Amino acid sequence: MQLILSSAGSYPRIGDAPDLQRHRRAYAQLERGEISAGEFTTVEDEVVTGVIREQIEAGMEVVTDGLIRWYDPYSHFCRGLEGASINGLLRLFDTNVYFRQPVVKGPIRRKASVILPEYEFARSVSPRPVKPVLTGPYTLARGSILEGGYRSAHELALAYALVLAVEVRELSRAGAQLIQIDEPAIVRHPEDLNVLEAALAVVGRERGAARLLLHLSFGDVAPLYRDLQALPVEALGLDFTYSPKLPALIADLGSVKPLALGLIDARNTKLETKESVFPVLDAVLPALKTGPTYLTPSCGLEFLPRERARLKLETLKRLRDDYLRGRS
């Protein structure tokens, strides 16, 4: 059985030790005009290199760039779009993190690649495969203020899908094998599953040889689980921390798609144990019809202090190794 260890997205960009505060200091210097944008990018490069190294040292076999260059999951994609601007702060789901809300006033058009250069840099410094991450079209539309250009959030989701499809095409051509699409908003709006399906179909047309992994978090995915199997993606990433019934449901219904099991709580510092994780693996793994299966944190790790994020990944590796050893 193949259980691949993978990050699920963001990683803390600073830690408490002074030598891990470089990003914060440079950001402040950039805001004060004391360093140039180019100098700040150099610092970001170093931080990305560091968080990739840290993920690999902790045992991850597929890494991300930690989304170090993102201001937040919304404005990162919308800041450079024609037809969109960025508004005030809004709470990101049930977290204590805030994002800047995009405002769409007219037809949106991409002016430059967003993720491709980030992916290319990460790949150049990572000895392990890098998984690029995109915020999905439905979530972007749901989090945007629509003031013109489209008649509904549904139409806007399809417009975002066209933009993201180009990102996916570029990433695929650059060699990305697995591309993660985050769609947390659908968990709270299952009534819009048809909108998500249509938008993902648009994005997926451009995936070439890459596989799309749809990642859902920040809510209970169990009510949606059966319908997720029909979506036009190659794999599903699921946050298990909200879903007490999810393991039994997967055991019952199985999965025709490979799953990324978000078993490690990326929102709380408490470390998982074999008592909390092994029963879930025992229930879920026999029901999976295809692999590989990924083991991941429940969402990006940026909600935790840096040292705890690393400990969570180390815990994930230790649990995976112990589990496989116990079965052999």
Partner 1 sequence: MSRQKLTRLGVELPLLPTSTVGSFPKTPELAEARTKYARKQITRAQLEALEKKATEFWIRAQEEIGLDVLVDGEQYRGDMVAYFAELMGGFQAGGLVRSYGNRYYHKPVIVGEVKWPGPMTVAWWRWTQSLTKKPVKGMLTGPYTVMDWSFNDYYRDRKSACLALAREIRREVEALIEAGARIIQIDEPAISVRQEELPFAIEAMHLTVDGLPAYFITHACYGAFETIYPDMLELPVDNLDLAISNSALDLLKIFEKDPFTKDLSLGVLDVHSHRIETPAEIKARVMRGIRVLPPERVWVDPDCGLKTRTVEESRSKLEAMLTAVRELRTELA
CA 78 to CA 86: how far, in whole Å?
7
Verify binding: residue 27, partner 1, rule CB under 8 A.
yes
Integer angstrom CA distances of residue 195 from 127, 231, 302: 38, 11, 29
Minimum CB–partner distance for residue 138 and partner 1 (Å):
19
- When binding is defined by CB under 8 A, the residue of 22, 24, 79, 110 that contacts partner 1 is 24
- Ranges within 211-270 binding partner 1 (CB under 8 A): 220, 268-270
Q: Cβ of residue 185: shortest distance to partner 1, in angstroms?
A: 14
Which residues between 29 and 58 bind partner 1 (CB under 8 A)?
31
Q: Return the number of the residue (148 or 244) whose C-beta is nearest partner 1.
A: 244
Residue of 61, 206, 239, 302 interacting with partner 1 (CB under 8 A): 302
Among 35, 86, 97, 283, binds partner 1 (CB under 8 A): 97
Can residue 303 be called a binding residue for partner 1 (CB under 8 A)?
yes
State which of residues 34, 39, 82, 94 lies at the interface with partner 1 (CB under 8 A): 94
Size of the site for partner 1 (CB under 8 A): 32
Asked if 91 is part of the footprint of partner 1 (rule: CB under 8 A), the reply reads yes
Whole-number minimum distance, CB 259 to partner 1, in Å?
24
Which of 16, 34, 82, 252 is close enough to bind partner 1 by CB under 8 A?
Answer: 16
Q: Is 82 in the site for partner 1 (CB under 8 A)?
A: no
The footprint of partner 1 (CB under 8 A) covers 12-16, 24, 27-28, 31, 71-72, 88-89, 91, 93-94, 96-100, 220, 268-270, 302-308
